[in-house]
Structures are given as C-alpha cells and as structure tokens.
C-alpha cells in the first residue's frame, strides 16, 4: 500500500471515529445533559477508549463545542433558508420543523444543552448567546427581501417578527418533547405560519 493510500485510509478512519463520537455525545447530552454525561461512557458507545476519544477531542469542553457545531451544521443550511426569501422563507421554516420532528433525539440533545447554558459558567453559554442573533438576522434579512420585492407589508418589523417565529419554534419543541402524543408540532407550527403569512403579505 502506497504512503498516499495509507494516509487517506487513516484520515477516513479518523473522520469516521470523530463522527461516532459526535453521535454518541449528542445522545448522551440529550439524555443526561452536559454535566451528567461521562466521557468514558461516550467513548465506549463510540467504540473507543477514553484516551482514543481525547485524541480527537482533547477535552469535554471541546467535544461540547464540536457537538454544537455539528447540530448547527445539520440544520444550518436549511435555517439559512437556502436562498429563499419573503413568504417562501416562512414555508421553508415549516420544512425545517418537519425535519426536526423526524429527529427527536437530536432535538432533545440540543434543547437540554440550551437549557443548561443559561447557567453562569456553562461552557455552551456564549455559543448560544451568539447563535440567537445570527438566527434572527438570517430570518429578518429574508423577510426584508420580501418587503423589497413587494410581497410583504413595508410596516412589518422584520427583526421582531423573526424573534417571535424563532421563539415559537423553540417553545413548541419543548412542549413536543415533553408530550409528543398531544402536541403535533408540525401541524401547530404550520397553522401558525399560515397566520403569519396572511398577516404579513401585502394586499392587492
């Protein structure tokens, strides 16, 4: 086996191991939170020793950061709306919520970490504080483009509406996680967005 092939194989194995660790950590953080999760258990679930895990992620804090980045990567492109603007961006958010409903473990892990992060000193606190402004700005920009295109009323406060919609998504997720038999997250959010569309669109 040539040196280049060996290097490529090793890199592939390393990437696969990192993905296993991220998946194991997402599951653990979702079930036990950051503070209650053990690196040894995360490593074992990923098929590694603790030393093997620390080779890829030298500290628990670095693993947490990687988990948060991975979670954002999963739905980041969808939340950034993929070029959709105006009223279409609202429909895109319904697709995002529908996708989240198909990944309860992922949503649970992120929700638990977000709840923990309100505590002073939590390693994810700053990350979450910086994330919300980005999400609001992305959605507000898409809505503003709808105003400029003439399909959304010019008196709409895009930043306030973006904050309201994001709060609706996050709040519904918590209720759905706690009571999935009675909370149809997709149906409720779809109905809400339909009302937002009707209220925000320009009148011919």
Assigned fold of 1-58: Arc Repressor Mutant, subunit A (1.10.10)
Mean pLDDT in residue range 143-169: 97
Domain with CATH 1.10.10.60 in the chain: 1-58
Q: Which residues contact 56 (CB under 8 A, 6 or more apart)?
A: 14, 17, 18, 21
| The domain defined by 67-200 carries CATH number 1.10.357 | yes
CA distances from 99 to 21, 22, 95, 107, 126 (A): 23, 20, 6, 10, 26
Q: What does the buried/exposed string (b/e) look like for 181-200 if buried means 16 or more CB atoms within 10 Å of the residue's CB?
A: eebebbeebeebbeebeeeb
Q: Running DSSP on this structure, what letter comes out for residue 46?
A: T
Reported as a single tens digit per residue, the pLDDT across 96-128 is: 899 889 888 878 888 888 888 898 988 889 888
Which ranges in the chain are annotated with CATH 1.10.357?
67-200
Confidence band for 21, pLDDT divided at 50, 70 and 90: very high
């Amino acid at each position: 086996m040539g040196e280049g092939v060996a290097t490529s194989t090793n890199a592939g194995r390393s990437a696969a191991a990192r993905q296993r660790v991220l998946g194991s950590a997402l599951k653990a953080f979702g079930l036990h939170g950051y503070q209650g999760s053990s690196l040894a258990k995360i490593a074992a679930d990923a098929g590694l020793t603790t030393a093997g895990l620390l080779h890829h992620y030298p500290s628990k804090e670095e693993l947490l950061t990687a988990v948060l980045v991975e979670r954002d990567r999963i739905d980041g492109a969808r939340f950034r709306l993929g070029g959709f603007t105006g009223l279409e961006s609202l429909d895109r958010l319904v697709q995002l919520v529908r996708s989240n409903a198909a990944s309860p473990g992922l949503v649970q892990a992120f929700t638990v970490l977000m709840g923990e992060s309100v505590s002073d000193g939590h390693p994810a606190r700053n990350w979450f504080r910086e994330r919300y402004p980005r999400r609001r700005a992305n959605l507000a920009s898409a809505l503003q483009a709808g105003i400029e295109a003439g399909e959304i009323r010019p008196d709409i406060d895009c930043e306030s509406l973006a904050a309201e919609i994001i709060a609706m998504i996050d709040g519904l997720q918590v209720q759905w996680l706690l009571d999935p038999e009675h909370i149809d997250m997709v149906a409720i959010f779809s109905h809400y967005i339909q009302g937002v569309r009707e209220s925000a669109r320009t009148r011919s």
